[in-house]
Amino acid sequence: MSTYRAFEATGVHNLQLVERELVDPAPGHVRLRVEACGVCHTDVLAIEGLRADPASPIVPGHEIVGVIDAVGAGVTGWAPGDRAGVGFLHGQCWECEPCRRGDFVNCRNQEQTGTTVDGGYAEVVHARVSGLVRIPQGLSAIDAAPLLCAGLTTFIALQQGPTRAGALVAVQAIGGLGHLALQYARSLGYRVAAVARGTEKEAYARQLGAHEYIDSGTTDPGAALNALGGASVIVATSSSGASMNALVRGLAPNGRLVVVGAAPDPLSVATSDLIFGTRSIAGSLTGSSIENEDNLAFTLAHDIRPVVEVMPFARAMDAYEHMLSGRARFRVVLDIGA
C-alpha cells in the first residue's frame, strides 16, 4: 500500500475521509497499522475546533491499538509485528524538568494524540516510542482500546492518596468512565458506592461491583456517603461541576475528591467542608505509558472489560455523534482492522 485512509477534522463539527500518502516513521517513532480506536469525549477538542488552529487538518482519536509495521531510526525494544497502543499522551521528552523528576504525565514537551498530532481515526498512525503501550495477549484490540484512556484515567484516579483495603470508595456517574471505575474499585478490594441520578442504573452498577447505590436525584449524595461512614476517595466522572459540589461533604477525614470528568461549569465548595475533616480536591489527568501497561495487566488478572458498542471505520462521524448523544453503553469503538 502506498496510501491509507484517514478522517481529518477541520473547522467545527466536520470530518472528511481522505487518502494520505504512506511515509516512513521519523527517528524515535514507529508506524502502526491501526486495528481499533476508541471514541472519547475529549475528541471534541479536535472535531469541534477547540484547538489553536482549527483550520489545520488533524486526525482525531487517542485510544489506539494496532500492530507496528515500521520503526524509525534509533528505535530499540520495538519491532514490526509487535502489538502496541497509544493513549492521549503521545510520549514524554525525558529532558524537561518534570521528566527529569519522573513526572512524565506533566512533560512540558508532550503532544496530545488526536489533538495536537494525528490520532487513530485512520488506518495508519505514527507514534513516539516513549508513549507506546505493549498490548498483552488475551486482550482484543476492541477491548484494549478504551482501557488506554478511560481505563487508565480511572485506574490512576483510584490510587490518588492512601486508601486501605475495605475502605469506602465512591464513583460518581456510571458512564464511559464510571462503569470501568466500579470494576477497578471492586477489584482493588474497596467497599464500593455508586452515585448516579435515577434508579435505572442501580442493577447494572451492582453487577459491575457496587456494594451500595445512591440516587443523587432523590438523595443528598454527601449525606448518604456520610451515613455509610464517609468515603476515603470519591472519583467524580460527571461532566457537570455543579453535580460534584455536594460530594465533598461525603468524604471521610483526610478523604479526597478526585476529579476526572471535564465540565464546562466550575466546582464550588465551602471552605469549612475542606478544613473540618482535612479533606482535599485533586484533578487527575491520566498516566504514563508504563502505568498503562500496569493497567492492562490488572484488567487481565481481574477479568475487567469495557462495555462497548462497535462501529465500522467508515461510520466515524456517526460513532462520534452517538458518543456525544450520551446514549452509548458505554464506550464506542471504531473497528478499523476489519
SS3 letters for 72-101? Answer: CCCCCCCCCCCEEEECCECCCCCCCHHHHC
Q: What is the mean pLDDT of the chain?
A: 97
CATH tag for 3-150+287-335 (out of 1.10.1280.10, 3.40.50.1100, 3.90.180.10, 3.40.1480.10)? 3.90.180.10
Would the pLDDT of 325 be above 90? Answer: yes
Q: Which residues contact 256 (CB under 8 A, 6 or more apart)?
A: 160, 161, 232, 233, 234, 279, 280, 281, 282
pLDDT (average), residues 60-87: 98
pLDDT (average), residues 270-283: 96
**This prediction's pTM:** 0.96
CATH 3.40.50.720 intervals, the chain: 161-283
168, three cell numbers: 469506602
Would the pLDDT of 332 be above 80? Answer: yes
**What pLDDT, on the 0 to 100 scale, is given for residue 161?**
78
Would the pLDDT of 234 be above 90? Answer: yes
Q: Are strands 63-71 and 29-39 parallel, antiparallel or unpaired?
A: antiparallel
**What pLDDT, on the 0 to 100 scale, is given for residue 205?**
98
**What is the distance between the alpha carbons of residues 157 and 233, in angstroms, rounded to a whole number?**
9
**What pLDDT, on the 0 to 100 scale, is given for residue 139?**
98
**What pLDDT, on the 0 to 100 scale, is given for residue 1?**
75
Would the pLDDT of 24 be above 90? Answer: yes
Question: In 3-state terms, what secondary structure has residue 204?
Answer: helix
Share of the chain above pLDDT 90, in %: 99
**What pLDDT, on the 0 to 100 scale, is given for residue 338?**
79
Residue 86 burial (10 A CB sphere; 0-12, 13-18, 19+): buried
Would the pLDDT of 173 be above 80? Answer: yes
CATH 3.90.180.10 intervals, the chain: 3-150+287-335
Number of neighbours of residue 282 by Cβ within 10 angstroms: 13
Who wins on pLDDT, 161 or 59?
59
**Short-list 86, 87, 69, CA closest to 30:** 69
**What pLDDT, on the 0 to 100 scale, is given for residue 162?**
81
**What pLDDT, on the 0 to 100 scale, is given for residue 294?**
98
Share of the chain above pLDDT 70, in %: 100
Question: DSSP label at 189?
Answer: T
Q: Which residues contact 31 (CB under 8 A, 6 or more apart)?
A: 24, 25, 68, 69, 70, 71, 72, 124, 125, 126
No. of H helices and E strands in the chain?
10, 15
In single-letter form, the type of residue at position 256 comes to: R
- Torsion sign, CA atoms 89, 93, 96, 97: positive
Domain 161-283 has CATH 3.40.50.300: no
Could you tell me the pLDDT band of residue 266, with boundaries at 50, 70 and 90? very high
Cell 467542608 belongs to which residue?
273
**What is the distance between the alpha carbons of residues 10 and 30, in angstroms, rounded to a whole number?**
25
Q: Can you give the length of the chain in residues?
A: 338
pLDDT (average), residues 205-213: 98
